[in-house]
Structure 1
Amino acid sequence: MLKINYSKCTGLVLSLALLLCGGKIKAQTDLAAGDLLFTGYDAQPGITASGPRFDRISFVTLKKMTLGTVLYFTDRGYKGGWFAANNNTEGSMSLTTTAVVEAGKEVVLTLTPGFYAATVDGSSIGTPVAVSPRLSMGNTGDQFFIFQKGGGDPGGVGAVMIAGLHWNVVQSGSFALITSSADWDNLNMAGHPSSTLSTTNSNIPPGLVAGQSAFFIGAHYTGSSYINYEAANFNGAGKPYADAAAIRSAVLNVANWSRVPSGNGAAVTVPTGHFTTALPVTLHSVSAKLNAGSLQLDWRTLSEANCDRFVVEASNDGRSWIALATVKSKATDGNSAVPLDYSLAVPMAGTVLAGFGIFGLLLLPTVRKRWMKVGLMIFAVCLVAACAKQEMNEEGLEKLDSANGQLYVRLAQMDKDGRTNYSETILAKK
């Protein structure tokens, strides 16, 4: 049954007022661990000036990055603290994006001195800058991290680790492999070969998780010992990708990578070219709370592609879900490259109010001036049309009990082709 919601309409008016009053859009996109994943690297020694540049590394974005987003990169290692930077090989770079980077796109960094570049689909998104001192990816083993904040220092106050990649190999005197996916070079283990503690070494730093945001490329066995892979790239297994989860599952599987052993000299493609289409919908944030007699839900999408509608679902126990309301996508034909904000108030008791639109029409007889009547009618019609994009499930409402002051809530996003993606589950409280 289609209902008109007064709180929803009021929210529209307030949102419009905020925009008219000069509300600003936040430039910096704050990322979390795993929002970026590495897809390829080339740490081979310098190649001819006409050939591929050395020190190239690529990553795919699982969250849209707005213009002005600042990223930092470092090849410094971690063992209870960050190894000191030096003048030539261990340091940091910074990048401030000069273009929007959609979720599902692949960024390639060229870190050859004199040829610094950051591109997506061949177009520049900014120029990397050396944060004294600069970094240099080692072909004899190294690691590479992406982070934000901290003043460009991975150990700085407030630094947030986003992604880590490791291609070093540590082995014992009997050539037993010590490096592992679980904690990389295991620098804290008893009896660790002290000679291997160098700029090529690292454990997984705090904030990153093995197999989710930190990745070890593996080691090449020669028949008697292990050597590292100085270049590797993701082979595109399973493409095209329906969502971020599909990308993560494919990229973090080492079996889906082509790897070049140290000293091999074989060419490697960076970027991989397997990520050419933005993800369908990038959900930026979802919040929910229980007000007096209603459930207030707000969410923002950073981009939408082929999006049809959103369904608000609630549960008393977090297991059995009931669809409460359906909201049509605001995007034109389901596609949008700009942020879109949604707000919905679901009544948890009683009948849904008729809304300001109908209330405004009831006021018409009391308004004497013609221009005020016309204005009020136009305003009411616009609000009714906007509010009509949501549908309430009154039967579902009756099955839920919010008397204990909390409900589990999630958002189901549905594409025009029938695919459904769910947001994280939120506990809404009074």
Structure 2
Amino acid sequence: MKKFLLLTLTLLFYHALFAQNIQVSGVCIASPVTLTQTGQENGKPLYQGVGTVNGNAGVGIAIFWDPNENLWFLAYNGQPYFSSPANTSVPPGTASTNFSWSTVAGQTCTGASPLSVTGNVALWVTFGSIDAHVKGDNLHVNWTTEKEVNNDHFEVEASTDGEQFVTIGTLKSKAENGNSDITLNYEWTGKAGMSLSVLPYLAFVLILLLFVRRKKTMLLATVAISFVAFIQVSCKKDKDSITDAENYYIRIAQIDKDGTKTYSKVVRVNGE
């Protein structure tokens, strides 16, 4: 009996400590309601709670993903009232200018305050301008953000065709605690002679070094890195060289603290 009570208390403590919650309010919801993650539905988290909606108490409120419609739904008693097309790992938050919740056709739900969805939600960065150009032997990438929420860092990605991208650099967010409502300016600089065709192999070798300890394996890995470096130098002016600016594209990936990722627009690298 004691073991059972101890297990129950442990589970309750775990649930209280790690449960992922969402708070919804506004429109026809009388007062803020907490939705708790109760499981997974269609491969994404399901959130449920009870509140007063349109003057009716005890109404079941849920947020779930519908893979057939490719939409997040906010439903009352199983009837969707709001939807969002943002294909995120968790429901989108209303504090982000990148996301929107729209009223489902035929459903009426109005109130003095707009819909608010906060808590364990996706809140992405609002990008401003972005520019990439080669000056001398260096590639300069500049961008601005107009708003950042829960942002951790950025990754600079390059491509030879504008479709398949590889990461060539990272930069931490300047926003305090990852949050900002003002325009922030960023600049990343890297060598322009880098050959993108060998970047995946270089990344593999660097990762290999993290996991190997034997001298023989370390020696082979070092030789491999040297070989890759040689290829980079020899290929500096081939069709994959960033010095040939017209053949290159850049985009910025933004990564939230929870790992959620979004991208800026794609721009072509400009020469001097």
TM-score, normalised to structure 2's length?
Answer: 0.44
- The structure that is strand-richer by fraction is 2
- Name the structure where helix makes up a greater proportion of residues: 2
Using CA pairs under 8 Å that are at least 6 residues apart, name the structure with larger relative contact order, 1 or 2: 1
